[in-house]
Chain A
Amino acid sequence: MLRVESLTVHHGPVAAVVDLDLEVREGEAVALLGANGAGKSSTLAAISRLIPAVSGAVHLDGRPLGRRAADQVARLGLLHVPEGRRVFPTLTVHENLQVASAARRRRGGGPRATRALLDEVYDLFPMLTPLRDRPGWALSGGEAQMVAIGRALMGAPRVLLLDEPSLGLAPAVVDAVYGALARIRERVPLLLVEQDTTRALNLCDRAYVLRGGRLAMTGTAAELRDAPDLVAAYLT
């Protein structure tokens, strides 16, 4: 589904990600783990073209993305729920979701499909229904996270990139978010960046562990769960 080959990303003079290969197959949820600053978010941002990569290639469905810009990549169905949620503060919850239909413009963007997807999102996050007309700036962190995920779903994702969906959320809200992710992964392959190793490994099939921008280890979720010490060593 998604294949990343020898990705290298720089922040100014410093290398954030070095020569990274990774893959997300059909029907699979993959976790990207690592310490603070290991290059996880940079990897996602470079895949979705939010930031430029120095070198490397990204393939979606076996086709290279080439030099497409972020919005073009999104319209192909590679959708990224960014760090910090980045809900549009001046748009209401409903408008935040509506505006994200743009990603489906050439893949069934009609009003009927939009309505169906809107229903699906409100069904997945019932908490959002009473908040439809609340502006983005007035949302709490958990509500904003749900809008951010819902927004990506409005684009009918073929692969979903998620950056720390649990950051700064109360445990009950994290449960709700992960409950929704468990349902989403039935239909959409996920690439998940997460600090919370246990949650990530419970949700995902496989994981990559980054350290200093390089791939440190990889394995199935079960393998990594059985070797917590090893994982912890790479996370510190």
Chain B
Amino acid sequence: MSELPPSPAAPAASASSTSSSPRARSSSPPRSRRAVVNRLLGRAADGLPVPYQRGQLAVVVGVIAVTLLVGALTGGEYGYGLLGAWAVLSISTLGFYLVFGLSGQFAFSQAAFMAVGGYTSVAVARHAGFLAGFVSAIVVAALVAALLALLISRTEHFAFAIATLAFGFVATVVFREWEDISGPGGEVLGIERPSLFGHTFATDEALFPVLVGALAIALVVVALVERSPVRREAIAVRDNPVVATLSGVFVQRRRMLLFTLGSAFAGAAGSLLAHRSAAIFPETFSLQLAINLFLALLFGGMGSMWGPLLGALFVTQVPERLRFVGRYQDLIYGALLVVIIVAVPDGLAGVTGRASRALRAYAHRRGRTTATARAPLEADEAAGPAAADEPGAAAGESAVPGRQPPGQGRTSGPAGDAAPALAARDIDVRFGGVRAVAEVGLTVGAGEIVGLVGPNGSGKSTFLNAITGLVPAVGSLEVGGAAVPLRRPARVRAAGVGRTFQTPQVVEGLTCLENVMLAVPERRLAGLGAALGRRRAMISLERARAQRARVALARVGLAELADTPANQLAYGWRRRLELARVLVAEPKVVLLDEPAAGLNEAETRWLAEMLRSLRAAGCSLLIVEHKLALLNDICDRLVVLRLGEVVAAGEPAAVWADPRVVEAYLGGGPAAPAPPAPAMAAGQQAAGTADAPVAAPTTAGGNGDAAS
């Protein structure tokens, strides 16, 4: 695979990215005092994305210390009882954070998995002791969760919610009616207290350190997941499954992984709950508990792993405090729930998070009043690329080595010698009765730029969706001479096809850097095993990914915004981010869907330059676009679609001279006399009426080349 020309801004980074072996880290990073401090705080974050820059592990230690301290201060069976209940519910809520908060799965099954864990643990512990029961609770909950996820992971949102709700109902009935594994009516009484290595924890006070220990383990696991590719991929799956798929994330697998892991947390919590209270009833795990878990997560705040702790505190403490109101307890609790949801949008953690962000932003502003670069956030005047990131500066003059003029030194038309970069044959797409694409065949030669044009509704975007596997299609597809199955986005991508969308698609919940890291083709050690067990190797791979992503960001002029959340980007910048995500995968073929829509003159010029530099690096491009000036400027060939069929194909000048094209595209209606098409290809003046006139200066130059 050809290396794209590196940006001069980060040649070293690019070089090290090519040797992205786990050992690349040994080129020891500079040890400033800040780095040393960071290392001490457990955040060796140099170059890594935002989640790695936070000190989660230090906070975990703090939380555990505070918990133990509070336990010692409040003391007594009652205090330890409440704190123990909090710890247990926190574990389950943390698991739910993985399921619902991170990967966005609207599941009502968390309480049911606590039941699965509880009953399993009780049944096993009867014969093999508490520890065996606890472990088997986790394993069985995970297995059942994996099975359930396998069944329903393809369902949509509410259907998924209702299916998990149904699972909860099924579980409750099973435990109540299947008296062989429980007792009469599903009740099991006189469960043995937890014991470890022959020591039984008979009182809540004695048990408290064990529960806190379990909570500490749960927190560490979540913190490690937060500092790993798993988080990034989960959020991508949550916020934009299409982008996730096209970036190479296995969407279903990620969903299943987090569902299973989160449910295993529930299994552990269920086991602790059963042994702690020495009794278990099916009613304990009713929908009310599921609601409480949602409440804990929402109230605490879904945006961070600390929310669950606060939420669990609320859910365990408040009903306790409301006892004095007697039968009004449920009413007040429900009303409180509604009021809190209305009044506190991001939960408690959100409130504190917002405060600290505001503080940081303030400090940031103070610190860089002299800096000239303004973050082009939404609604910034964003008057096109500022001087600093003209393509010349961002991609560097070297990005276009030799400035190979288009139309010279290359064969126009499908390349003769090598296999075509992309060859689609007889692509056919139907929506219901409508045939959106009818047996379209199209070839993009190696190093060629092909424009796909046609009136609206002629099937251009659908064609791109068909070859990238996003809509069901029949036909055949070859990339670089090798056959690639349709309807398999992952395979198409792996074959080296990248694409952008008409409306730029980004993962809103991630920073720009993380958005691009998502698509780095190096995908080793991105799973849960590496996140928990092979940290060192995983982190160094992450560092390499971050560096490659930074190079790609620099190429599109977004280096400054690496740590900016993508949801704060304005339209034009989203396009660039999308482009960076495509570039970082080093594609052989890039499909662009109206890349210039909504761009002004300068931005369009920048885009043309970028596309040429891509071609110079060995990429082949297929561009759907309406800005004819841009197409005439950069394309070797044009293919014209109309009503899902190819009308004409060939060099731009020849295509525009074709009367069928004039009729099909440039203007049929008597109400709209179109400029004579041949004139457009020959002299540029006429293009003014047919296309954005502001692009005329670009075209004038480009067209001179094309005509020569």
Contacts and interface: CB of A to CB of B under 8 A. Distances in A.
A–B direct contact (CB < 8 Å): yes
Interface of A: 10-12, 14-16, 35-39, 42, 138-143, 164, 167-173, 175-176, 179, 195-199, 211-213, 232, 235-236
Interface stretch (B8-16, B397-405, B411-419, B449-457): B449-457
Interface stretch (B166-174, B340-348, B516-524, B688-696): B688-696
B379 interface: yes
Contacts of B665: 170-172
Given A12-B378, A138-B431, A236-B383, A176 B671 contact: yes
A175 B379 contact: no
Contacts of B453: 170
Given A170-B453, A175-B672, A232-B694, 5 more contacts: A16-B378, A36-B571, A37-B376, A140-B455, A141-B457
Nearest to B571: A36
B598 A38 contact: no
B667 A172 contact: yes
A175 B456 CA distance: 13
B694 A175 contact: no
A38 B383 contact: yes
A39 B674 contact: no
6 contacts: A11-B379, A12-B568, A35-B384, A36-B600, A170-B455, A172-B665
Nearest to B692: A196
The 3 A-B pairs with the shortest beta carbon distances in the complex, nearest first, are A140-B457, A212-B381, A175-B672
Contacts of A16: 378-379
A196 B628 CA distance: 13
B495 interface: no
Contact of A36 (B431, B502, B570, B689): B570
A172 B665 CA distance: 6
Contact of A37 (B570, B602, B628, B674): B570
Contacts of B572: 36-37
B699 to A, nearest CB: 13
Nearest to A169: B456
A179 B691 CA distance: 15
B379 A172 contact: no
A37 B600 CA distance: 10
B380 interface: yes
B666 interface: yes
A198 B672 contact: no
A198 B628 CA distance: 15
A69 B65 CA distance: 52
A108 B180 CA distance: 73
B687 to A, nearest CB: 9
B434 A168 contact: no
Given A37-B382, A196-B693, A169 B626 contact: yes
A138 B672 contact: no
A217 to B, nearest CB: 14
B377 interface: yes
A176 B669 contact: yes
A139 B457 contact: yes
B601 interface: yes
Nearest to A180: B671
A172 B671 contact: no
A39 B597 contact: no
A236 B672 contact: no
Interface in B662-680: 665-669, 671-672, 674
B456 A140 contact: yes
Nearest to A202: B689
User: Most chain-B Cβ atoms within 10 A of its Cβ — which of A35, A138, A164?
Assistant: A35
B597 A37 contact: no
Contact of A142 (B431, B456, B598, B690): B456
Interface in B587-617: 594, 597-603
Contacts of B628: 171
Contacts of A173: 455-456
Given A36-B571, A175-B674, A195-B600, A168 B381 contact: no
Given A11-B378, A171-B666, A175-B667, A35 B456 contact: no
A213 B379 contact: yes
